[in-house]
Amino acid sequence: MKQNVHTVGIDLAKRIFHLVGTDTTGKIVWRKRLTRHALMPFMAQLPPVTIGMEACGGAHDWARQLRHQGHEVKRMAPQFVKPYVKSNKNDMRDAEAIVEAVMRPTMRFVPIKDAAQHDIQTLHRVRERLIGERTALMNEVHGLLHEYGIVLPKGVAKFRRKRNKKVALKRRLRLRTVPPLALAARGPRRPSPRVLHS
């Protein structure tokens, strides 16, 4: 039965995967429900076939592993697979829709990235997140210092140059006069003990 399979549609998941195999005419040959650990041993037993899957989380890694086994893997955007889902949606019908969509001659496919491309993309994403956190922190510092009358220029470079200089100047000016709140926080002054001479 496995020798007659020409195209396989895989509905990816975290634990349970649903597979549908078709022959050259598009007729469904078998339906499978496999766990995450059983997927690769099962696909290794098949001859080289065309595999269709949606471009979702983890699809790049699965595509690289299946391509290493000699299969031709094609990834599709989920919105292009949705029109081929029949009746009520479930995982097995999603796999049927995937195997039907991958055989369409006009279907648009998503290219598969190798590990090096994924590493570069990961570095860019981490860098963007760090830049966003830095910008948020600078905006918060701008707002806090503005409450004390300190206005710093915009921009990272200008912020770094002016920050220490203005904060140090304001601190020196404010230390000359003790604020009323600081006096209240200290509490009443205790009288110094007097030495009584007889």
pLDDT digits (tens, 9 = 90+) for 160-190: 777 666 666 666 666 555 555 555 555 555 5
Q: Is 196 left (phi over 0), alpha (psi -120 to 50) or beta?
A: beta
Q: Is residue 194, in this structure, part of any structural domain at all?
A: no
pLDDT at 118: 85
Specify the higher pLDDT residue, 99 or 168.
Answer: 99
Q: Is residue 107, in this structure, part of any structural domain at all?
A: no
- Say what percent of the chain tops pLDDT 70: 80
Q: Which residues contact 79 (CB under 8 A, 6 or more apart)?
A: none
pLDDT band at 73 (very low <50, low <70, confident <90, very high): very high
Rounded to an integer, what distance in angstroms lies between the CA atom of residue 164 and that of residue 159? 9
**What SS3 class is residue 179?**
coil
Same domain for 122 and 62, yes or no, is: no
Same domain for 63 and 130, yes or no, is: no
Same domain for 82 and 165, yes or no, is: no
Q: Is residue 193, in this structure, part of any structural domain at all?
A: no
**pTM higher than the cut 0.85:** no
pLDDT digits (tens, 9 = 90+) for 6-61: 999 999 999 999 999 999 988 999 999 999 999 999 999 999 999 999 998 889 99
Q: Of 71, 102, 133, which residue is a domain's last?
A: 102
| Residue span of the structural domain in which 172 resides | 115-186
Question: Residue 154 is encoded by which pair of tokens?
Answer: 């915009």
Same domain for 65 and 152, yes or no, is: no
Same domain for 79 and 11, yes or no, is: yes
Total domain count, the chain: 2
Q: Is residue 94, in this structure, part of any structural domain at all?
A: yes
Strands 50-54 and 7-11: parallel
Rounded to an integer, what distance in angstroms lies between the CA atom of residue 173 and that of residue 130? 35
DSSP class of residue 70 equals: T
Mean pLDDT (the chain, rounded): 84
